[in-house]
Amino acid sequence: MNLSLELYIAANWAVVIVYVLATIANAAGVIFKNGRLERTGFWFAGLGLVLHSIVIVCWWAEVGHGPYMAPNEVLSSDAWMIMVCFFIFLRLHPRIRPASMLAFPSSFLLLALSMFYNPGIRTLPATFRSVWLIIHIGLYKISLATLVISFAFSVFYLLKERRESGWLKQLPALETLDIYSHRFAGFGFIFWTIGMLAGSIWAHQSWGRFWGWDPTETWSLITCLMFGAYLHLRRFFLWKGTRAAWLFIACFVISLLTLFVMATLSGSIHSEYFK
Amino acid sequence: MPDIRNFITARRLSLSLILVLAGMMCVSTLIPQEMDSTPDRIDAWRRGHEQLRWLVDGLGLHRIYVQPWFAVTILLAATALAVSSCDQLAAARRRLYSTASGGGEELAASIPESALRSIARSHRYRSLHTGSRHLKFVRNPWGYFGNALLHIGMVLVVCASLYVALTGRQGALVLFEGEQHGNRQVWDGDEHGVMASPLTLPGPIRLDRVRVRFDGKNQPTEVSSDITIGDGSGKAEYLTATINRISRYHGLRIYHASQNGDAFVLEFTDAKGDTHYEKIAVQQPVSLTKAGYGDFYLKWSPHVLSAKYFADADNKSMSSAKPLLVMRLLDREEEIARVSLTPGNSGMLGDNRVRLLGVQKWAKLIFVDITGMPVIFAGFAIIMLGGLIHYMTPPRELIGIRQQDDHYRVYWKAPSFRDFFAEERQEVANALQKEVA
Which tens digits make up the pLDDT trace of B321-353? 999 999 999 998 899 999 999 999 999 999 999
Q: Do the Cβ atoms of A212 and B36 come within 8 Å? A: yes
Closest Cβ–Cβ partner in A190, A200, A221 for B391: A190
Question: With 60 as the cut, is the pLDDT of residue A16 above it?
Answer: yes
Chain A, chain B: beta-carbon pairs less than 8 Å apart: 135
Which tens digits make up the pLDDT trace of B258-307? 889 999 999 999 989 999 999 999 999 988 888 999 999 998 999 999 99
Q: Output the CA–CA distances (angstroms, integers) from residue B77 to B18, B20, B298, in the order listed.
A: 8, 10, 49
Q: Do the Cβ atoms of A207 and B217 come within 8 Å? A: no
Grade residue A274 by pLDDT with cuts at 50, 70 and 90.
Answer: low
Query: How distant is the Cα of A201 from the closest Cα of chain B, in angstroms?
Result: 8
Domain boundaries, chain B: 98-140+394-437, 167-260+365-381, 263-361
Mutate to test the interface with A, among B42, B74, B380 (most CBs of A within 10 A): B380
Chain A residues touching B27 at Cβ < 8 A: none
* pLDDT score for A212: 84
Which of A260, A169, A262, A180 is CA-nearest to residue A215?
Answer: A262
Grade residue A2 by pLDDT with cuts at 50, 70 and 90.
Answer: low
Query: How distant is the Cα of A16 from the closest Cα of chain B, in angstroms?
Result: 30
Phi, psi of B337 (to 5 degrees): -160, 155
* pLDDT score for B148: 94
Which of B151, B346, B211 is CA-nearest to residue B268?
Answer: B346
Q: Do the Cβ atoms of B258 and A126 come within 8 Å? A: yes
Q: Which residues pair with B281 in a beta bridge?
A: B263
Q: Do the Cβ atoms of A267 and B384 come within 8 Å? A: no
Q: Residue B191 is inside which H or E element, if any?
A: strand B189-192
Three-state DSSP at B141 gives helix
Chain B residues touching A206 at Cβ < 8 A: 243-244, 255, 258
Contact A197, B380 (CB under 8 A): yes
Q: How far is CA A70 from the centre of its chain?
A: 17
Please report, for chain B, how many H helices and E strands are present, in that order: 9, 20
Q: Which residue of A has its CA nearest to B418?
A: A179
Contact A132, A205 (CB under 8 A): yes
Grade residue A88 by pLDDT with cuts at 50, 70 and 90.
Answer: very high
Q: Do the Cβ atoms of A129 and B377 come within 8 Å? A: no
Domain boundaries, chain A: 1-121, 125-275
Q: Which residue of B has its CA nearest to A235?
A: B416
Chain A residues touching B419 at Cβ < 8 A: 175-176, 179-180
pLDDT mean values, one per 10 residues, chain B (437 residues)? 77 90 93 82 91 93 89 91 92 84 80 92 88 87 94 94 90 93 82 88 92 84 93 86 90 91 95 93 90 91 94 91 95 91 94 95 93 94 95 92 90 85 91 84
Query: How distant is the Cα of B286 from the closest Cα of chain A, in angstroms?
Result: 7
Q: Output the CA–CA distances (angstroms, integers) from residue A104 to A177, A204, B98, B281, in the order listed.
A: 19, 37, 44, 49
Q: Which residues pair with B245 in a beta bridge?
A: B242
Chain A residues touching B63 at Cβ < 8 A: none
Query: How distant is the Cα of A96 from the closest Cα of chain B, in angstroms?
Result: 10
Contact B278, B270 (CB under 8 A): no
Query: How distant is the Cα of B231 from the closest Cα of chain A, in angstroms?
Result: 22
Mean pLDDT value of segment A84-110: 94
Chain A residues touching B220 at Cβ < 8 A: 123, 125-126
Chain B residues touching A228 at Cβ < 8 A: 18
Query: How distant is the Cα of B290 from the closest Cα of chain A, in angstroms?
Result: 10
Contact A82, A152 (CB under 8 A): no
Which tens digits make up the pLDDT trace of A155-194? 999 999 998 888 888 888 999 999 999 999 999 999 999 9
Chain A residues touching B258 at Cβ < 8 A: 125-127, 206
Closest Cβ–Cβ partner in A64, A180, A208 for B368: A208
Query: How distant is the Cα of B50 from the closest Cα of chain A, in angstroms?
Result: 23
Q: Do the Cβ atoms of A190 and B366 come within 8 Å? A: no
Query: How distant is the Cα of B392 from the closest Cα of chain A, in angstroms?
Result: 7
Contact B311, B285 (CB under 8 A): yes
* pLDDT score for B190: 83
Closest Cβ–Cβ partner in B36, B243, B380 for A126: B243
Chain B residues touching A180 at Cβ < 8 A: 419-420
Query: How distant is the Cα of B351 from the closest Cα of chain A, in angstroms?
Result: 35
Q: Which residue of A has its CA nearest to B213?
A: A126
Chain A residues touching B392 at Cβ < 8 A: 187, 190
Q: How far is CA A195 from the centre of its chain?
A: 14
* pLDDT score for B292: 93
* pLDDT score for B1: 64
Residue B228 burial (C-beta neighbours within 10 Å; 0-12, 13-18, 19+) = middle
Count of alpha carbons within 13 angstroms of residue B314, beta-carbon side: 7
Three-state DSSP at A240 gives coil
Phi, psi of B230 (to 5 degrees): -95, 155
Q: Do the Cβ atoms of B170 and A206 come within 8 Å? A: no
Identify the CATH class of B98-140+394-437.
alpha beta
Q: Output the CA–CA distances (angstroms, integers) from residue B71 to A85, A226, A248, B164, B165, in the order listed.
A: 40, 20, 29, 13, 11
* pLDDT score for A273: 57
Chain A residues touching B187 at Cβ < 8 A: none
Which of B293, B291, B288 is CA-nearest to residue B315?
Answer: B288
Which tens digits make up the pLDDT trace of A42-72? 999 999 999 999 999 999 988 888 898 888 9
